[in-house]
C-alpha cells in the first residue's frame, strides 16, 4: 500500500481548507505542520504571540457584554446555522482530520458528525436552561435559582479529537451566552481554522461579532497564557494528566473554573457468560480503533480464567488481519501513530511489559517504515500479563492491550479500579446481577460504565468525563451545561412583612 506524496497531501489539505473558507496563504508562517500519514509537511502557519492571545481574550470579554444579553434561543439559532454548515462541509473537515491526525475516513467523518450532533443538542438546550423553584420556609416567599452566562471560555483541545471536543464545549458555551477562545493542538491547526471559519460565517450571517469565537495557534506557552488570564472564566482543557496537573492549579490560583478531561486507562471485564463473538468485536474496535489514540481506548482486558485463553486467541487472530496503512485508502482500519514521540512511548511500553513478565502475543513491531521514515505505523499489540504491574498502570497512547486473568468478580472490579485513571470501563456478561454490581457503588469507579459494549464510542447525550486522574470534568450532554453558567439563588418576598430565616428575630 503506497503513501501519498507531500505534493498530493498538501493539495488535498489546501482544497479542503479553501472549501471551508480558509485562505492558507493569508495564515502562512514559519511553523511547519507534519502529517502522520507520511511524516511530511502539510502547511506552514503563523503561531500566536502571548500579546495576541491576551488581545483575543480581551476582545472576547468585550463581546461577552453583548452576547450574554442575546436571548438563549437566538443564540441557539446561530448554533443551528453552524450545524447546517458542518453538514455541508462534513467531508472537507473530515479530510483535514485524516490528514492532520491520521484517522481513517469513517472515524474522521464520525468525528465531524459528533459536531453536527452536539449542535442539534445545543439548539434544543437553548430553550431548556432550567432553574428550580424550591419551597421557602418563610410564608409568602418564593425561593428559586436562575442560571446566567459565565464569561469567556478558553478551550484547549488535544490532537486525537481535533474538532469534536471543541464543538462539545463551543456549542454548549454559545447557547449559554459565553464567547470561546480556542487553543487547538499544534498537530491540527488546519482543522481548527476550518472549523472556526464555518462558525464565523454563521455568526456573520446572524449579525454578531466575530470575537464571539476565536482561535489562537501555538504550543503549550500559548495555552498557558490563556490559562493565566483572569478574564477567562472557565478553562476547559483536554489532554494528558501531566498537562492537567499544570493547568488545574494555575486556574485555581486565580479562582477561575477549570473543566479537565485527562488520561484514561480503560478496562473491559470479560465474564464466563460473555458472548465471545460480541466481546471480540467490542475489544478490537475499542483497543485498535484510532490506532489506540482515544482517551477512551481500551488498554486492559480482565478476563475470567475460564475464558481468558479463548479471548486472547480471538483478539490476536483479529489483530493479525487488521489492514494497516494510509487512512486515506479504502479498507484501512488502522492508521498511523501521531508522531515519533508516540512511537517511542509505545516501543518502551512493549519492552517494559515483557521485562515485567508479560508475554507478547501479537504485534509489537513497526510496519511500513521503509516506505515512510517519518511516519509511524505499528501492528496492534496484545501482551498477556501475569499481574497488573507498573507499566499497566501507565496510559500508553497506542494500540497496546494488556490481558489479565481473574477468578471472581470482586477481584476483577478491584483490578479495574486499581489504576490512577477513571475514565471509561465495561463488562461483557449475560448475567444481569454481574452487570448491576459493576454499575453500582461497589462496582466500577469510572465516569463511564458500560455493559456489553467497549469502552469507546460515547454518545453526545450523556455527560462525558471521568474521575481520579481523569480530572472530574463533564462535557457534552446531560447537565454538563451547568459548568458554562453561573447560578444565582433568588428569594422573593411578597408578604409585606420581613420574617427572617431560621426563626431569627432582629427588631429595630
Angle at Cα 110 formed by Cα 93 and Cα 380, nearest 5°?
110
298-309 per-position pLDDT tens digit: 999 999 999 999
State the Rg of the chain over Cα. Answer: 24
- Which CATH number applies to 6-262+471-488? 3.40.605.10
Per-residue pLDDT, 369: 78
Per-residue pLDDT, 504: 93
pLDDT band of residue 193 (cuts 50, 70, 90) is very high
Residue 370 has pLDDT above 80, yes or no: no
Per-residue pLDDT, 103: 98
pLDDT (mean) for 15-34: 94
pLDDT band of residue 27 (cuts 50, 70, 90) is confident
| Domain 266-459 top-level CATH class | alpha beta
Q: How many CB atoms lie within 10 A of CB 344?
A: 12
As a whole number of angstroms, the longest Cα–Cα distance in the chain is: 89
User: DSSP per residue over 445-498, as a string?
Assistant: -SSEEEESS-S----TTSEE--EETT-S--EESTTGGGGGEEEEEEEEE-SSS-
Catalytic position from the list 100, 261, 395, 434: 261
Q: Are 8 and 23 in contact (CB under 8 A)?
A: no
Percent of the chain with pLDDT over 70: 100
313-362 per-position pLDDT tens digit: 999 999 999 999 999 999 999 999 999 999 999 999 999 999 999 999 99
Q: φ and ψ at 390, to 5 degrees? A: -60, -40
Concerning whether 205 is annotated as a catalytic residue, the answer is no
Q: Are 280 and 438 in contact (CB under 8 A)?
A: no
pLDDT band of residue 275 (cuts 50, 70, 90) is very high
Q: Are 213 and 203 in contact (CB under 8 A)?
A: yes
The helix-helix angle for 90-101 and 105-125 (nearest 10°) equals 130
Domain ranges of the chain: 6-262+471-488, 266-459
Q: State the pTM of this model.
A: 0.96
d(CA 156, CA 167): 12
Q: Are 103 and 297 in contact (CB under 8 A)?
A: no
Residue 373, burial from CB neighbour count under 10 angstroms (0-12, 13-18, 19+): exposed
User: DSSP per residue over 339-379, as a string?
Assistant: SHHHHHHHHHHHHHHHHTT-EEEE---EESTTT-TT-BEE-
Residue 507 has pLDDT above 90, yes or no: no
441-454 per-position pLDDT tens digit: 999 999 999 999 99
Q: CA–CA distance from 46 to each of 52, 97, 202, 229, 409 (Å)?
A: 12, 20, 25, 22, 54
Per-residue pLDDT, 26: 86
Residue 19 has pLDDT above 90, yes or no: yes
d(CA 266, CA 263): 9
Per-residue pLDDT, 1: 63
d(CA 463, CA 440): 18
Residue 43 has pLDDT above 80, yes or no: yes
Q: How many CB atoms lie within 10 A of CB 308?
A: 18
pLDDT band of residue 2 (cuts 50, 70, 90) is confident
pLDDT (mean) for 160-171: 98
d(CA 429, CA 451): 7
Element (H, E) at 261: strand 257-261
Check residues 412 and 24 and name the one with the higher pLDDT: 412
Mean pLDDT of all residues in the chain? 97
Amino acid at each position: 500500500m503506497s503513501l501519498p506524496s507531500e505534493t498530493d497531501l498538501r493539495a488535498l489539505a489546501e482544497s479542503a481548507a479553501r472549501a471551508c473558507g480558509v485562505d492558507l496563504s493569508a495564515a502562512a508562517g514559519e511553523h511547519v505542520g507534519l502529517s502522520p500519514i507520511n511524516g511530511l509537511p502539510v502547511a506552514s502557519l503563523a503561531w500566536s504571540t502571548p500579546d495576541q492571545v491576551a488581545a483575543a481574550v480581551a476582545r472576547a470579554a468585550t463581546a461577552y457584554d453583548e452576547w450574554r444579553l442575546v436571548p438563549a434561543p437566538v443564540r441557539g439559532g446561530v448554533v443551528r446555522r453552524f450545524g447546517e454548515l458542518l453538514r455541508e462541509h462534513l467531508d472537507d473537515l473530515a479530510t483535514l482530520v485524516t490528514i492532520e491526525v491520521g484517522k481513517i475516513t469513517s472515524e474522521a467523518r464520525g468525528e465531524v458528525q459528533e459536531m453536527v450532533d452536539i449542535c442539534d443538542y445545543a439548539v434544543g438546550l437553548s430553550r431548556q436552561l432550567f432553574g428550580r423553584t424550591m419551597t421557602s420556609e418563610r410564608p409568602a416567599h418564593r425561593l428559586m435559582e436562575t442560571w446566567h452566562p459565565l464569561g469567556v471560555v478558553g478551550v484547549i483541545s488535544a490532537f486525537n479529537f481535533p474538532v469534536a471536543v471543541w464543538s462539545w464545549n463551543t456549542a454548549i458555551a454559545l447557547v449559554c451566552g459565553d464567547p470561546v477562545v480556542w487553543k487547538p493542538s499544534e498537530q491540527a491547526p488546519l482543522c481548527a481554522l476550518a472549523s472556526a471559519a464555518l462558525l464565523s460565517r454563521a455568526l456573520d450571517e446572524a449579525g454578531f461579532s466575530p470575537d464571539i469565537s476565536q482561535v489562537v495557534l501555538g504550543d503549550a506557552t500559548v495555552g498557558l497564557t490563556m490559562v493565566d488570564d483572569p478574564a477567562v472564566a472557565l478553562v476547559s482543557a483536554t489532554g494528558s494528566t501531566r498537562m492537567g496537573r499544570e493547568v488545574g492549579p494555575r486556574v485555581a490560583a486565580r479562582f477561575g473554573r477549570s473543566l479537565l478531561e485527562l488520561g484514561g486507562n480503560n478496562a473491559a471485564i470479560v465474564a464466563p457468560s460473555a458472548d465471545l463473538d460480541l466481546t471480540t468485536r467490542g475489544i478490537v474496535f475499542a483497543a485498535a480503533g484510532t490506532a489506540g489514540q482515544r482517551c477512551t481506548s481500551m488498554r486492559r482486558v480482565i478476563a475470567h480464567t475460564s475464558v481468558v485463553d479463548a479471548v486472547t486467541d480471538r483478539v490476536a487472530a483479529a489483530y493479525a488481519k487488521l489492514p494497516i496503512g494510509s487512512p486515506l485508502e479504502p479498507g484501512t482500519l488502522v492508521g498511523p501513530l501521531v508522531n515519533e514521540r508516540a512511537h517511542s512511548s509505545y516501543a518502551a511500553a512493549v519492552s517494559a511489559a515483557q521485562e515485567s513478565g508479560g508475554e507478547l502475543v501479537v504485534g509489537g513491531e513497526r510496519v511500513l517504515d521503509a516506505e515512510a521514515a517519518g511516519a509511524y505505523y505499528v501492528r496492534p499489540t496484545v501482551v498477556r500479563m501475569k499481574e497488573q504491574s507498573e507499566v499497566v498502570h501507565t496510559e500508553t497512547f497506542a494500540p497496546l492491550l494488556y490481558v489479565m486473568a481473574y477468578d471472581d468478580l470482586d477481584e476483577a472490579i478491584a483490578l479495574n479500579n486499581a489504576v490512577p485513571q477513571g475514565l471509561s470501563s465495561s463488562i461483557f456478561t449475560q448475567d444481569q446481577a454481574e452487570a448491576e454490581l459493576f454499575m453500582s457503588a461497589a462496582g466500577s469507579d469510572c465516569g463511564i460504565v458500560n455493559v456489553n459494549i467497549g469502552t469507546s464510542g460515547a454518545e453526545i447525550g450523556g455527560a462525558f468525563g471521568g474521575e481520579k486522574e481523569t480530572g472530574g470534568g463533564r462535557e457534552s450532554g446531560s447537565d454538563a451545561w451547568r459548568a458554562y453558567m453561573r447560578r444565582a439563588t433568588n428569594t422573593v418576598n411578597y408578604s409585606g412583612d420581613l420574617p427572617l430565616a431560621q426563626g431569627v428575630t432582629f427588631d429595630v
